[in-house]
Structure 1
């Protein structure tokens, strides 16, 4: 890991001393709450119902993919699949399949999935983590298609992934099982090759890679997962190899409807407590926040200034997405592993993702600077919103200037009176 000890900064703007930090109200944004309550039974039923040739798994080495995206109860999901495969007489094992994430190293990727309780001890099967790949074909434009060597040498690959809108492009297939085949299973080498033509090429080229992959790699079946607005699993489907692309596209449309967005269309300053790769490839979801390295997200939210306070523990100091902040703190920029972050953004050809924003010495100064540098606003009625992360959108805080706008809505519940933001003696939000 490579960290930088940035110096303290005194960033003062004329008039900043007159800025008042508004009182905040806690609210609940209400979304569709449906979730799968008994994951184990659901998965067992899906496998029994949708996979026709159970006998074909007997004596076979079956590889299960574990990606970097945060999926609730991923250990239960993978553990249940393993148990069912063992029941059918197969010999399952797990591979980390996350392209260049976790520093693009075998050990880093194995450690990453361990943070989801995916270990050899908890799963009862081997975890084969390697960056070695096999070329299994190429596209018409000569782009090589790669597959993790351990997966390719197995008797069958379970392509498992969360299906959700991507943070950098729009298409029929975005983040999901298709992208797992195109990039996740291609490891660092394949991910780097695929990203060379940029995100604008993804909608066209992902299906092309999948066609090659499905023809030349030993894919067994797919598992597609969708989460609701509360970050809980609302859809989980097991499907035969031939239906993976069809269901990947269908689940994406469902996922787009499930996204938790702000009930308010305009924000002066948005405070995000934490960003991370476990939340989104972009650290936060541009489908919620409206900022991305790529075009297509500009109409998501009318946002003037973004203040990012820190990184999740599960991101392992990867700060992809921090570049979108208008301001952060010294504590945050000193917590970044720049080597890991820059490997990730370089693989994606998005070098601007490695930039750092303006930083101040603490949260209070960062918030004051963000408010002061908003233009065309009423400073006495500044609109500030605070969220933990873009996956936690139900309970949030909004400044008291939103009260009249929200008090009579049936999809918003007011949970508290307006209160001052509490800071510790060093100026950080408590």
Structure 2
């Protein structure tokens, strides 16, 4: 797209449209893009990052709407985002170009303004705020991207600015069909090896784990206890979503960048995802603690599942208690016989 714009005589540049992510700093947001493979060298144009924003106006309900200053001062803007189910609310549109117009492009001020209006109404606030952005005349068109279950783009839809919300709604329904899911309705202990903002905005995708940061989204398995073992390198210490677990390791807790993590809670007005759960010294003790807290079931009979992260679900580990369900599911294949988990002398999983 950058090449096509240059051929047409434009001078394109990229603006990070991610609200308060990246510790709410311009430098942090550039690093987030670079972790995603969107660097100036890769895309062939400058990245102009700032946390300064311009007040565009208000929604009918009085919510202030902001826009990144660099985007506002450009001749025109193309909004590019993938369409996915959100992790904290349900609506006609959720994560996609509409939300990017309302929240991402508004930087910290805009993101906080929309969230502060209340999660119970956010499904209405986001389209209203996006409409204010469109009416500014700064948006040329949007590109909505659909990905398969392995985050590979398979469809890109270009829509005029005034049709973004209308066009995004059916794409969201299609995206829901592509959502990764665990193949069990009830899980005693779910162990997630790593969480991070590069995996999901909430570290581990609540649409996969069934653990949500607000009461305004539902779906996924019933998980009695959940364990997080580590943070990804790419998340840079941002542990947003850690509070959705019951137990974490000392290794994970020691890597948390509190300011970066807390910015998410302050902006989204949602403290639950940044609260620190029970911290255990090792992987082995963290998993043992979770099993101990599963009421009314022996450790041998526990329905336990382990995954690398919520994007890597092609291969999962399941306890013998789940074997009957595995054998009945035509989409599942046993690739290795049951064996005890192996731990090193330091209690870390091998």
TM range (shorter): over 0.9
Determine the C-alpha separation between the residues in 2 that align with 1:349 and 1:296. Answer: 14
More displaced 10-residue stretch of structure 1: 115-124 or 263-272: 115-124
SS state of the match for residue 395, structure 1? coil
Determine the C-alpha separation between the residues in 2 that align with 1:162 and 1:377. Answer: 42
Residue correspondences, number: 350
Determine the C-alpha separation between the residues in 2 that align with 1:276 and 1:238. Answer: 30
Change in CA separation of 1:189 and 1:401 when aligned onto 2, cut-off 3 Å: same
Give the Å deviation of 1:116.
2.0
Determine the C-alpha separation between the residues in 1 that align with 2:61 and 2:160. Answer: 29
Instruction: Note if 1:343 corresponds to 2:263.
Output: yes
**2:136 equivalent in structure 1:** 216
Change in CA separation of 1:299 and 1:163 when aligned onto 2, cut-off 3 Å: closer
Choose which of 372, 392, 417 in structure 1 pairs with 2:337: 417
Give the Å deviation of 1:142.
2.6
Unaligned runs of 5+ in 1: 1-80
Determine the C-alpha separation between the residues in 1 that align with 2:292 and 2:241. Answer: 23
Determine the C-alpha separation between the residues in 2 that align with 1:278 and 1:256. Answer: 20
Larger gyration radius, structure 1 or structure 2: 1
**2:164 equivalent in structure 1:** 244
8 Å contact from structure 1 (residues 168, 292) kept in 2: yes
SS state of the match for residue 131, structure 1? coil
**1:75 equivalent in structure 2:** none
Determine the C-alpha separation between the residues in 2 that align with 1:410 and 1:336. Answer: 40
Instruction: Note if 1:289 corresponds to 2:209.
Output: yes
**1:44 equivalent in structure 2:** none
Large movers: runs of 4+ above 3 Å: 296-299
**1:179 equivalent in structure 2:** 99
Determine the C-alpha separation between the residues in 2 that align with 1:129 and 1:187. Answer: 10
Give the Å deviation of 1:297.
4.5
Choose which of 17, 27, 36 in structure 2 pairs with 1:116: 36
8 Å contact from structure 1 (residues 383, 399) kept in 2: yes
Determine the C-alpha separation between the residues in 2 that align with 1:277 and 1:346. Answer: 16
1:278-328 deviation line (CA, Å, top 9, x unaligned): 222211211111111211445521211000111122211111110011101
8 Å contact from structure 1 (residues 104, 188) kept in 2: yes
Determine the C-alpha separation between the residues in 1 that align with 2:111 and 2:260. Answer: 15
Change in CA separation of 1:411 and 1:371 when aligned onto 2, cut-off 3 Å: same
1:340-394 deviation line (CA, Å, top 9, x unaligned): 1111111100122221000110000011111011002243221110111111122
8 Å contact from structure 2 (residues 244, 272) kept in 1: no
Determine the C-alpha separation between the residues in 2 that align with 1:230 and 1:161. Answer: 16
- Structural RMSD (CA): 1.4
**1:311 equivalent in structure 2:** 231
Determine the C-alpha separation between the residues in 2 that align with 1:409 and 1:194. Answer: 43
Choose which of 112, 130, 145 in structure 2 pairs with 1:192: 112
Give the Å deviation of 1:234.
2.9
Q: Normalized against structure 1, the TM-score is what?
A: 0.79
Alignment of 1:11-410 (within 5 A): 81-297=1-217, 299-410=219-330
Give the Å deviation of 1:405.
2.1
SS state of the match for residue 15, structure 2? strand
SS state of the match for residue 56, structure 2? strand
Determine the C-alpha separation between the residues in 2 that align with 1:126 and 1:187. Answer: 19
Determine the C-alpha separation between the residues in 1 that align with 2:220 and 2:42. Answer: 40
1:158-195 deviation line (CA, Å, top 9, x unaligned): 10111111111110111110010000000011111111
1:216-246 deviation line (CA, Å, top 9, x unaligned): 0411111111222222223221222232112
Determine the C-alpha separation between the residues in 1 that align with 2:25 and 2:131. Answer: 27
Change in CA separation of 1:377 and 1:299 when aligned onto 2, cut-off 3 Å: farther
